[in-house]
Structure formats: C-alpha cells, structure tokens
Amino acid sequence: MARLVDDTLLRAQLRADLKAAPDLARALSRLALERGGPRDLACAGRAIAAALNLAEQLGRQPDLPENLQELTATLAAAPRDLATELAAALDDDLPLLSRDGGFVRPAYDGRLDEERALGSETRAVVAALQARLMDETDLRSLKIKHNGVLGFFVEVPAAHGARLLEAPFRETFIRRQTLANCMRFTTTELAELETRIAQAHGAALDIEIAIFTRLREAVLAQTLELQALADALAELDVTAALAEVSATRAYCRPEVDDSLAFAIEGGRHPVVELMVKTEGQSFVANHADLSGSDAEGGGSLWLVTGPNMGGKSTFLRQNALIAILAQMGCYVPADSAHIGVVDRLFSRVGASDDIAHGRSTFMVEMVETAAILNRATRRSLVVLDEIGRGTATFDGLSIAWAAVEALHETTGCRALFATHFHELTSLAKTLSRVSNVTMKVREWEGEVVFLHEVGPGAADRSYGIQVARLAGLPDPVIARAKQVLDVLEQRSVGTASSKDKASVLDDLPLFAHRPAPAEKAKDVVHEALDTIRPDEMTPREAIEALYHLKKIRDDARRN
C-alpha cells in the first residue's frame, strides 16, 4: 500500500491496466455451470493478457515490497498459451450464446471455412436464380425471399400470380401461399438449393459448437490457476484503489500493534467528509483516545453526550471505520492513528424492529446489547449509540447504567457510548477509565448552532425542541413543548416519580389543538389588481395602471 501511495506514476499505470482486466471469477463460474458463452471465453483470455501485462509492469519496478512481489509472481504464472489460443480462435464481435454461431475467427479452422464458403456461395446462387427466373417470366417484380415458416420462396404481385399458374410456367412454379397483395411459389431447383444452404449452415454451426466445447474444457482444466489469478487481480485492484483514495484524500498511515492503544488525531468519516465537500463545506475533524493497558484494567470508555444532530453518531461510526480500514491494511482518514489490534468490532446503532418474529424495537436493541456484553473481550472495540431509549425513562437509564459498569468492570474493552441520559456522566467520578465528552453547540438568538466538535465535559441539554423545529413541526406544537419543558425544569421533576410528574403536569393549561388562524395583513397591490379589467383597457390605460401598481408597491415598501 505505502509503495503505491508514494509512487503516483506506478499507481496510475496499474489502474489503467486493471481497467482492461474483466471479471475473471464471474466468467469462470458461468463456464463451470455450463451457462457461459463465447464472451466468457474471451473474458478469460483478456484477463490472462491483462495479468501478464501487469506482471511485466511490476517486474520492471525495483525494490517491490513482499506482498507486491507475491502478486507479481502469481500474475506472471498466468497461462499464456491459453490466452494465445483463445485470441486466435475467437472473433472480435461475439454473440451472447454459442448456439448463435459466428464467433470463430476466419482462417482458424479449415473445415469451418469450407462450410462457410459453401453457405456464402449458395447465397450468390440464390441471387443468380432470381435473375434467371425474372428473365424467363419477364416479371421484373419477381423476388426470392425467405422466412422461418416457408423457407425460400418466389414472390410476385397478386396481379401477376395468375400468369405463373398457366402454361408454360405451371410446370415449374408450385403455388405455396396466396395473400391479398401477392402470391408465393416454390420450384424444385429452389427447394434443392435451400437444402444445400441449410446443410452448410448446420455443418458450420456443429463445427463451431465443437470448437467452443474444446476451448471451454481447456479453460476449466486450469480452474485452480485461473482462480488464483482472479484473486491476485482483485487484490491488486483493491490495493491500487485504496492507494488512490489514500493519496488523493490525505489519509495517513496508521500504526498497528499488539497494545490496547486507540489514539486518533484529526479523525474523519470517509463517506460524510466526501459528501460535505461536494456541498462546499468542510468536515470537522475530531480526536479520540481510548487507549489503555492491561495494568490499567483495559481500555478507556468515553461517554458521548450532546444534542441531537450534533454529530455523535458520525463520531462513533468514523472511529469504527478507521479501525476497520487500519486492520485491512489501508491508510485511514486522520492526521495520525495508533491502534492496537482489535479482535472484534461490536456496534449497536439505529433503531429497527423485527415484528415478523415478535420482536419490538426495544427487544431488538436489547438482543444486540446482550450479544455485545456476552461476547466482547478486552481487545474488542465497542460502539454503542443509545441504549434504553425504547422503554420508560427510569428503566432505560438503569439498563444503560448497568451496561456501562459491565463494559468497564467485566469486559475492559475500548468503547464509545453515546447517550441522552445525562445522569450517566456521574459514572466518570467512580469509574477510573470512564471519561465524559460532548458535542459542542452554540446558541444564537434563540437558535442552536451545531459545531460538530468533540470536547471534554458533559452536555446539560439535548436541544430536542430546536431539532424538532428544524424538522418542521408546527409552531403550536413547538410552543406547547416549550411550555411543558419549562414546567418540568422549573419544578425539578427529573428526579420525581412518575406519579409526581403527572401531578405537576396537571397544572398546565389545555393545548389548543386548533388554534385560530392569524389574520393575514392586507396586500394593497393585490387589492389594486382586483380592480383592473385588462380586457376593457386601452394600451395607454394599461401602461398607466402598471405605473400605478409600481407606485403602490414603492409606497408600501417605504412605510
């Protein structure tokens, strides 16, 4: 990877040559299942030729790393003779199916060329026969045609058909079909000629089918070698593509070792970053440090709080993706990255149900959480985006609290835990490896501005009502929500029982479900337009009316 990232010219050459390499694995599977055709044979031949070309390109490079040397050796072992045979046998323009014929290159097989020549010559004989019959009958409109039902036949306009039914022509022409505008005949000579043509085409097709079968068996006889070749092409393609992405998007080379480190500087989400750039914006990079050690009891656990739409989910997912990219050998979207090997990555994000199997959204959430708590190890990376939100507040808070303690005390893994239960942030005081971080926001003139920046500390609000306004909830609903929230916050019901909460909310005035529509301000321009009758005005009056409307609008703006 590093060699291709640094060598721009080599990377560009390899990617250009890889474009000429078709999907060899797909062609092999189609041929093995007897569903392949001439195009699949050609695909195998082009893939072998592309592999040999790539091997030659890589072979000229000095000091190749070990993995590229292994790929070069596999590519160089491609069966050159098979590619040569396929290139010599297959024509440039190939049909989809072998039964269609016409896919073998001229001069490849002598017998096939003879049968094809016979077929083409008989077509010339058909043209000569038509010219002779036209002279004998003195009918310039006589044509010899062909269709799938009648085969070859003589066709003349209906007005001349009776002439061929009379002497001396009735001994030669045998009527086959009478239509509204024409009559169709055959002759003994034409029938014999049709037989010769059919036999020539059939013989040529039989030869081509035999050639296809032989070539297919030759390809399948080297299945193991071609499968290894397909894997090498795929690996080189992925490596070159990832190197291109790493070089063009300023990715860094991560340090991967056997420790419990997880230190990311300036981490970015590879997909979201690209999307915001297309919109003319810049992605906000963030740091993450979940590093730990066996002496400390495991990795760190970050409790991530902050508003909806603040970027918590993006932050969690980008760190999970960075871990995956690092361990697959790719550069990562960050300024620097030090990651200890992760044995398994566990994530619980989003909300979905499985009603077909009787599982509610909350049940699915609990099943996923149970799998994490039961299977994660100290070397795992765990990403949890909300736990307990699908049930009552105190139930959900209790489950989330216990899950954090289990991850810290029992599992000891590196973890990111996003939550709206702000009460969980107090665990940082009692659990040594738990840290609080929050997504920063600013309020400006009653509006919330999301900074998408991770900083130390804990959030005190979730700004849910502001997000609801951004989503388009009706203004009366937003106003009522603020009213309820103010009462709840003023009376400190956060620690009250459900019964106490209900009694506090009893004092709220009823919600006006159908607020009276506000009276619209009068539009003087529209009122003036209502008095105009365009069909009754002269051109001069129309111009004067236009100036009058403009004056009304200007006066309204000044006032």
- CATH code, domain with 346: 3.40.50.300
* Burial group, residue 533, by CB count within 10 angstroms (0-12, 13-18, 19+): exposed
337 in the same domain as 452:
yes
333 in the same domain as 448:
yes
- Cα separation of 491 and 484, whole Å? 11
Q: Is residue 88 part of a domain?
A: no
Q: Is residue 7 part of a domain?
A: yes
Strand partners, 264: 288, 337
CA-to-CA dists, residue 227 to 40, 59, 141, angstroms: 14, 21, 61
Q: Which of 213, 246, 279 is the last residue of a domain?
A: 246
Q: Is residue 415 part of a domain?
A: yes
362 in the same domain as 231:
no
Contact between 304 and 419 under an 8 Å Cβ cutoff? The reply is: yes
Number of domains into which the chain is organized: 5
| Burial readout 324-351 (b: 16 or more C-beta within 10 A, e: otherwise) | ebbeeebbbbbeebbbbebeeebbbeee
Q: Is residue 73 part of a domain?
A: yes
Report the CATH number that the domain containing residue 171 is assigned in CATH: 1.10.1420.10
pLDDT in tens, 132-154: 999 999 999 999 998 878 889 99
What is the pLDDT, as a whole number, of residue 175?
A: 92
272 in the same domain as 140:
no
450 in the same domain as 501:
no
Other beta carbons less than 10 A from residue 182's beta carbon? 17
Q: Is residue 43 part of a domain?
A: yes
What is the pLDDT, as a whole number, of residue 493?
A: 46
Contact between 23 and 50 under an 8 Å Cβ cutoff? The reply is: no
CA-to-CA dists, residue 147 to 121, 150, 152, 153, 155, angstroms: 19, 6, 7, 9, 12
Tokens matching residue 254: 């991560």
The three-class DSSP label of residue 440 is: strand
386 in the same domain as 254:
yes
Q: Which residues of the chain have pLDDT under 70?
A: 445-446, 491-522, 559
Q: Is residue 279 part of a domain?
A: yes
- Cα separation of 44 and 25, whole Å? 9
Report yes or no on whether pTM surpasses 0.85.
no
Tokens matching residue 261: 């480190």
Q: CA nearest 443: which of 429, 427, 460, 431?
A: 460
- Cα separation of 422 and 424, whole Å? 5
The three-class DSSP label of residue 103 is: coil
Q: Is residue 474 part of a domain?
A: no
Contact between 464 and 445 under an 8 Å Cβ cutoff? The reply is: no
412 in the same domain as 360:
yes
What is the pLDDT, as a whole number, of residue 284?
A: 94
What is the pLDDT, as a whole number, of residue 156?
A: 94
154 in the same domain as 50:
no
Q: Is residue 117 part of a domain?
A: no
495 in the same domain as 412:
no
Contact between 306 and 315 under an 8 Å Cβ cutoff? The reply is: no
| DSSP E strand boundaries for 261-363 | 262-267, 286-289, 301-305, 336-340, 345-348
Tokens matching residue 229: 């070749």
366 in the same domain as 325:
yes
376 in the same domain as 330:
yes
- Cα separation of 379 and 393, whole Å? 32
441 in the same domain as 327:
yes
- Cα separation of 89 and 198, whole Å? 24
Domain range for residue 237?
A: 2-79+222-246
pLDDT in tens, 196-228: 777 878 888 899 999 999 999 999 999 999 999
